[in-house]
Amino acid sequence: MTLAEINFDGIVGPTHNYAGLSLGNLAATAHAGDISYPRAAALQGLAKMRGNLALGLAQGFFVPLPRPNESWLEAVAADEATDRALLAAAWSASAMWTANAATVSPAPDTADGRCHLTVANLVTMPHRSHEWPDTLRQLRLAFADERHFAVHDPVPPCFGDEGAANHMRLAAAHQAPGIEVFVYGRGGGAFPARQHEQAGRIVARRHGLDPARVLFIEQNPDAIAAGAFHNDVVAVANERVLLCHELAFAEPEAAYRAIREAAPETEIVVVPDSAVSLAEAVRSYLFNAQLVTLPAGEQALVIPLEAWESGPVRAFLDALIAGNGPIRRVVPVDVRQSMANGGGPACLRLRVVADPGTVDPRFLLDEAKAEAIEQVVAVHWPEQIDPGDLGSEVLERTVRAARGALLERLDLEQLA
């Protein structure tokens, strides 16, 4: 097999809105009640995917989940008096952030030589807790070849699991055996620690990982309290490089030592709090970036415009590139609609190291599919949504028709 890292981005759904449902996600709660622009959001995400294709990277996608979720509305016995937050939860488009779809262990790391995926349960946030059944259907369709993939049910809901956003892999190369790092939280002040330590341990056992090549590292409670609700808001890893904030981990020196002992080739780039404060890192989403390996072998950091426009972040990145370090290029992208809801470039993608030839080709992006998606979005996605529109019969008909048109265009009607 020829293994490559494929980034599967979530197509932003037609119900993209700012209901402010995610406690601890400062951007999401700050923009609660704002008017959203689903069409612009989906086109911004598609432009990022096209940009990755232009960089020579393998790119996939997942389609939006069915919204509003009728089974969720039935479960909460929704009626005219139902709390607006519960109603909004049934309409949430948050599955677009596919970093939370699953945790992925590539074939070189697993005992049976298959790529393993465990769908995340996302139980901490009500609006995300009902995503996993539809996400699981999609994963089992995209990765249906059981000779190469094993797709698992979620871990028990008593252990909160937020997927790849709290998981890092370090290896000499994507196709080489690596170490897998599961980051968990214990406390975060007023905000919940969403990733349970036992969730990572269960996933590691399910995936058949070598215990000697697995690390469990606690996230800094101060980072959670500052709005780093997932580890990927303060750290990002790719092949032999780890880029992290000084305050990312509860015991940083012990974490770095354990990583270097398990993977001596790792280059750890620590961003000092004096250079980029924790607050600025969370605001700009410097670390919620895609750290990728380009075809020529150098690494690039795909960052949101908010990070590129930050004075402290820009100064750090300019010095990093000038210093001839492991990251040789910075690529700014406009995902402002996603950012305003608390998700940057890294949130929008799930990394899967696999042979592209083993993946259902309907989920792999090329320019023809990108053009098809763009045409459907331009015609069918609502131009804007006010949170007060949620529950409207007219909007419901619009968004259901929009998703149906996309599934038909992509030959994925079985996900209807």
Active site residues: 162, 230, 347
Of residues 142, 124, 252, the one with CA closest to residue 188? 124
The rounded distance, in Å, linking the Cα atoms of 11 and 148 is 25
Helices 367-380 and 393-409: crossing angle in degrees, nearest 10, is 160
Dihedral pair phi/psi, residue 330, rounded to 5°? -120, 130
CB 281 within 8 A of CB 271: yes
CA atoms within 13 A on the CB side of 345: 31
The terminus-to-terminus CA distance of the chain in angstroms comes to: 32
Of residues 211, 243, 228, 364, the one with CA closest to residue 283? 228
One-letter amino acid for residue 322 of the chain: A
Q: Tokens in use for 356?
A: 């592209």
Dihedral pair phi/psi, residue 246, rounded to 5°? -55, -30
Residue with tokens 């990145």: 317
One-letter amino acid for residue 407 of the chain: L
